[in-house]
């Protein structure tokens, strides 16, 4: 009886006619891009009170598919399914799992660095970290991080059509929920779906028990207002199989709603936030205030429960990790959503985080606050191009050529397709209280097995530096604006190299800065050889994020932190030195080479790092 009601309520998630005839109107799509993402590219993502209210542009030239296109896609999908002979049961290696001791757990940055150096954890792309048993943060209960004034706060979801995830199309917004409403909807959906699975004989297939008893085994009595109702359950394996059946076979049309990328400054973090961090974040929102630096101790111990302030001050609190000693990201000034300010994620059964790697190829860390497990797949960073090739081939079979589906975070495809293309892949199941770390450039994606809540943020260790350069070059080739300027970050690290605590790290940064200097030297020579001799040094106060938009290269979207070229014909149009020929057709004497940092300045910074290196010897 109870299940029947549930089914009714959740029926919109199964609407028969949503399938291939559902066109996303431009307005809907525009609305659905309203959530400030870190990966949108052309949007200037630094968050401030003013910007938050600003109207959003469409991040990409997204167009809803036409009806003819829809038909063609459906046919192509049909054909490719037949060709692929998918096997969703394919075995995938398990990602490494680590269990830090209390001592090791004192410093997350040092520990993750150790996993890379001593256990080659980066070779898997992702890994799981299970905290010591003493770890018991206060956030886990819903009420503790939705204080009274926030319990009525609502968030907008993204609707995900599971059977269309392999097409890489953009999805519209779902409904608006409070956390409690979302939880109810999610739990109702789980029961309705399990009941459908049960009716179709897809529950209890893999447990190896006697036929007949299965359905009964999966039912448990739950008391609800004194009335007994039956609740079904499934194993993670059954749900994983069911997920790929829906995504890959496209026989059933299933829609779920995902509450992703919720700003913790607005919605509240799952972790307690220290007063000085709150103050610093507020100071970033106010251009006139002085930014206070946040200081964290390198090691914070959980011994004897860690003391009353432990969870506010420890590095595994994801609000703190980007600012931890040794994380290069603490050299960024400003609140960058999802990068140095965590995002919250409210998930339900099958809600999907599509394949992607992090902005600027940064590290990421994800914590599971509470609820049903989350399934992760990861591809090592050095197999990223192989992964992208596979996706390109897949797209070719899908007719509709959607550009940058990975960047737009809308495409999901399973182990069968990737393994068939020899893409190395690992899998992991993240339970409440566990962390998942993703390494630089490593593609990852996955889905939830029921209602849950997670939180994630980025960080950077010195070994990330070459990846940052790689990302910057890749973005310039595809005209994608970076979320953070690689040059600004690295030059800031060089000014104050305290986070480089060994010689190897110093050498990595020196090498990178030397490349930057060589690049500048070569381009400046090219400019002067071509008659561009007007050179103007820019004042230091221009070294501020407020100016970033004004000095974005018109051609490659690079943030011209060191130098740029302008012409008297259009003061708004700026290009990087690489694209000096693409500025305009005016004569060289109309043009002006602006610089914020001279070769000499860069040389000074390199010297600074060399001196720091000497002290470490
Ligand atoms: Zn450029
Ligand atoms: Zn001109």
Phi-psi sector, 45: left (phi>0), alpha (psi -120 to 50), beta: alpha
* 361 and 493 within one domain: no
Tens of pLDDT, residue by residue over 541-585, are 555 666 777 889 999 999 999 999 999 999 889 999 999 999 999
C-alpha 273/C-alpha 287 separation (Å) is 22
Percent with pLDDT over 90 in the chain: 50
Question: Is 51 among the domain residues?
Answer: no
Question: Is 237 among the domain residues?
Answer: no
Per DSSP, the three-state class of 196 is helix
| Residues 6+ positions from 435 with CB-CB distance below 8 Å | 128, 129, 130, 131, 316, 365, 366, 367, 368
Q: What is the pLDDT of residue 265?
A: 81
Residue located via tokens 């050889």 = 529
C-alpha 228/C-alpha 33 separation (Å) is 43
* 504 and 562 within one domain: yes
594 alpha carbon – ligand 2 mean position (Å): 15
Nearest ligand to the CA atom of 564: 1
Higher pLDDT, 128 or 548: 128
pLDDT of 533 > 60? The answer is yes
Q: What is the pLDDT of residue 67?
A: 66
C-alpha 337/C-alpha 276 separation (Å) is 18
Chain CA centroid to CA 543, Å: 27
Question: Is 203 among the domain residues?
Answer: no
Q: What is the pLDDT of residue 222?
A: 58
Report yes or no: 309 and 320 within 8 Å, Cβ to Cβ: no
CATH number of the domain that residue 338 is part of: 2.60.120.650
* 450 and 505 within one domain: no
Residue located via tokens 């770890």 = 135
Question: Is 411 among the domain residues?
Answer: yes
C-alpha 377/C-alpha 379 separation (Å) is 7
pLDDT of 211 > 50? The answer is no
C-alpha 97/C-alpha 520 separation (Å) is 44
Q: How many CB atoms lie within 10 A of CB 607?
A: 12
Task: Tell me the angle at which helices 179-199 and 2-10 cross, rounded to the nearest 10 degrees.
Answer: 110
Higher pLDDT, 145 or 186: 186
Higher pLDDT, 75 or 144: 75
Nearest ligand to the CA atom of 554: 1
Question: Is 247 among the domain residues?
Answer: no
Report yes or no: 361 and 467 within 8 Å, Cβ to Cβ: yes
Tens of pLDDT, residue by residue over 366-401, are 999 999 999 999 999 999 999 988 888 877 665 555
Q: What's the structural domain count of the chain?
A: 2
* 394 and 269 within one domain: yes
491 alpha carbon – ligand 1 mean position (Å): 19
* 452 and 303 within one domain: yes
Residue located via tokens 């469409």 = 58
* 181 and 273 within one domain: yes
Q: Which two tokens mark 43?
A: 């949007």
25 alpha carbon – ligand 1 mean position (Å): 33
C-alpha 321/C-alpha 341 separation (Å) is 10
pLDDT band at 45 (very low <50, low <70, confident <90, very high): very low
Q: What is the pLDDT of residue 546?
A: 66
Residue located via tokens 């907008």 = 156
- pTM assigned to the model: 0.83
Q: What is the pLDDT of residue 169?
A: 72
Question: Is 220 among the domain residues?
Answer: no
Of 434, 458, 482, which marks where a domain is finished?
Answer: 458
Question: Is 165 among the domain residues?
Answer: yes
Residue located via tokens 């608006």 = 176
580 alpha carbon – ligand 1 mean position (Å): 8
587 alpha carbon – ligand 2 mean position (Å): 7
Q: Which domain holds residue 487?
A: 3-16+473-616
Of 402, 428, 458, which marks where a domain is finished?
Answer: 458
572 alpha carbon – ligand 2 mean position (Å): 11
pLDDT of 427 > 90? The answer is yes
Question: Is 395 among the domain residues?
Answer: yes
Tens of pLDDT, residue by residue over 328-353, are 998 888 888 878 889 989 999 999 99
* 422 and 393 within one domain: yes
592 alpha carbon – ligand 2 mean position (Å): 10
Residue located via tokens 């011209």 = 560
Q: What is the pLDDT of residue 428?
A: 95
The DSSP secondary structure of 109-129, one letter per residue, reads: HHHHHHHHHHH-GGGGSEEEE
Of 458, 486, 507, which marks where a domain is finished?
Answer: 458
C-alpha 74/C-alpha 19 separation (Å) is 10
41 alpha carbon – ligand 1 mean position (Å): 15
* 408 and 516 within one domain: no
* 538 and 432 within one domain: no
* 422 and 274 within one domain: yes
Q: What is the pLDDT of residue 475?
A: 93
C-alpha 163/C-alpha 17 separation (Å) is 13
* 332 and 283 within one domain: yes
Q: What is the pLDDT of residue 105?
A: 96
Nearest ligand to the CA atom of 587: 2
Three-class HEC string of 200-225: CCCCCCCCCCCCCCHHHHCEEEEEEC
Three-class HEC string of 336-347: CECCCECEEEEE
43 alpha carbon – ligand 2 mean position (Å): 26
Tens of pLDDT, residue by residue over 441-470, are 999 999 999 999 999 999 999 999 999 999
Higher pLDDT, 133 or 147: 133
pLDDT band at 220 (very low <50, low <70, confident <90, very high): low
Any bridge partners for residue 430, and if so which?
Answer: 374
553 alpha carbon – ligand 1 mean position (Å): 5
531 alpha carbon – ligand 2 mean position (Å): 14
Q: DSSP code of 294?
A: P
The DSSP secondary structure of 69-116, one letter per residue, reads: HHHHHHHHHHHHHHHH---TT---EEPPEE---TTGGG-HHHHHHHHH
Tens of pLDDT, residue by residue over 268-305, are 888 888 888 888 888 887 777 777 778 889 999 998 87
* 105 and 82 within one domain: yes
pLDDT of 83 > 60? The answer is no
Instruction: Give which of 36, 124, 110 is closest to 440, Cα–Cα.
Output: 124
526 alpha carbon – ligand 2 mean position (Å): 18
Nearest ligand to the CA atom of 575: 1
Q: DSSP code of 16?
A: G
């Amino acid at each position: 009886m109870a299940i029947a009601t549930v089914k009714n309520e959740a029926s919109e998630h199964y609407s028969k006619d949503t399938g291939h005839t559902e066109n996303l109107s431009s307005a809907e799509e525009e609305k659905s891009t309203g959530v400030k993402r870190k990966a949108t590219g052309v949007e200037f993502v630094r968050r401030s009170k003013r910007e938050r209210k600003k109207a959003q542009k469409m991040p990409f030239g997204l167009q809803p598919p036409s009806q003819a296109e829809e038909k063609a896609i459906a046919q192509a999908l049909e054909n490719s399914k037949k060709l692929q002979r998918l096997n969703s049961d394919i075995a995938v290696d398990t990602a490494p799992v680590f269990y830090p001791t209390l001592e090791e757990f004192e410093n997350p940055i040092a520990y993750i660095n150790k996993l890379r150096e001593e256990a080659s954890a980066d070779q898997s792309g992702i890994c799981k970290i299970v905290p010591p048993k003493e770890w018991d943060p206060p956030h886990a209960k819903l009420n503790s991080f939705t204080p009274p004034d926030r319990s009525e706060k609502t968030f907008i979801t993204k609707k995900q059509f599971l059977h269309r995830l392999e097409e890489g199309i953009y999805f519209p917004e779902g409904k608006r929920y409070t956390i409690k409403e979302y939880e109810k909807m999610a739990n109702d959906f789980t029961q309705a779906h399990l009941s459908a699975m049960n009716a179709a004989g897809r529950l209890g297939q893999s447990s190896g028990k006697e036929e007949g008893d299965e359905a009964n085994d999966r039912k448990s009595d739950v008391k609800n207002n004194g009335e007994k109702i039956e609740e079904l359950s499934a194993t993670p394996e059954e749900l994983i199989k069911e997920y790929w059946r829906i995504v890959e076979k496209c026989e059933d049309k299933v829609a779920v709603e995902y509450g992703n990328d919720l700003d913790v400054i607005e919605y509240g973090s799952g972790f307690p936030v220290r007063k000085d961090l709150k103050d610093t974040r507020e100071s970033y929102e106010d251009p006139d205030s002085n930014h206070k630096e946040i200081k964290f101790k390198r090691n914070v111990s959980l011994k004897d429960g860690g003391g009353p302030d432990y969870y506010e001050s420890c590095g595994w609190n994801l609000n703190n990790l980007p600012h931890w000693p040794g994380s290069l990201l603490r050299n960024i000034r400003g609140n960058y959503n999802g990068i140095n300010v965590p995002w919250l994620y409210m998930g339900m059964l099958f809600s999907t985080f599509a394949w992607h790697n992090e902005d600027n190829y940064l590290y990421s860390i994800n914590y599971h606050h509470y609820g049903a497990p989350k399934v992760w797949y990861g591809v090592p960073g050095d197999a990223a191009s192989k992964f992208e090739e596979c996706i390109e081939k897949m797209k070719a079979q899908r007719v509709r050529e959607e550009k940058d589906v990975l960047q737009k975070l809308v495409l999901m495809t399973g182990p069968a397709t990737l393994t068939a293309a020899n893409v190395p892949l690992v899998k992991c199941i993240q339970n409440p209280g566990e962390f998942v770390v993703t390494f630089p450039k490593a593609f990852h994606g996955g889905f939830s097995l029921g209602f849950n809540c997670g939180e994630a943020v980025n960080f950077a260790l010195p070994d990330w530096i070459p990846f940052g350069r790689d990302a910057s070059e890749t973005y310039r080739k595809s005209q994608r604006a970076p979320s953070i300027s690689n040059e600004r970050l690295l030059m800031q690290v060089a000014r104050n190299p305290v986070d480089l605590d060994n010689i190897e790290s110093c050498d990595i940064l020196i090498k990178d800065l030397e490349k930057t200097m060589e690049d500048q030297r070569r381009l400046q020579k090219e400019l002067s050889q071509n008659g561009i001799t007007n050179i103007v040094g820019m004042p230091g106060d221009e070294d501020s994020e407020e100016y970033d938009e004004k000095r974005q290269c018109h051609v490659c979207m690079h943030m011209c932190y060191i130098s740029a070229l302008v012409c008297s014909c259009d003061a708004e149009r700026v290009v990087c030195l690489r694209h000096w020929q693409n500025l305009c057709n005016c004569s060289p004497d109309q043009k002006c080479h602006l610089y914020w940092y001279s070769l000499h300045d860069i040389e000074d910074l390199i010297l600074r790092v060399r001196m720091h290196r000497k002290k470490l010897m």
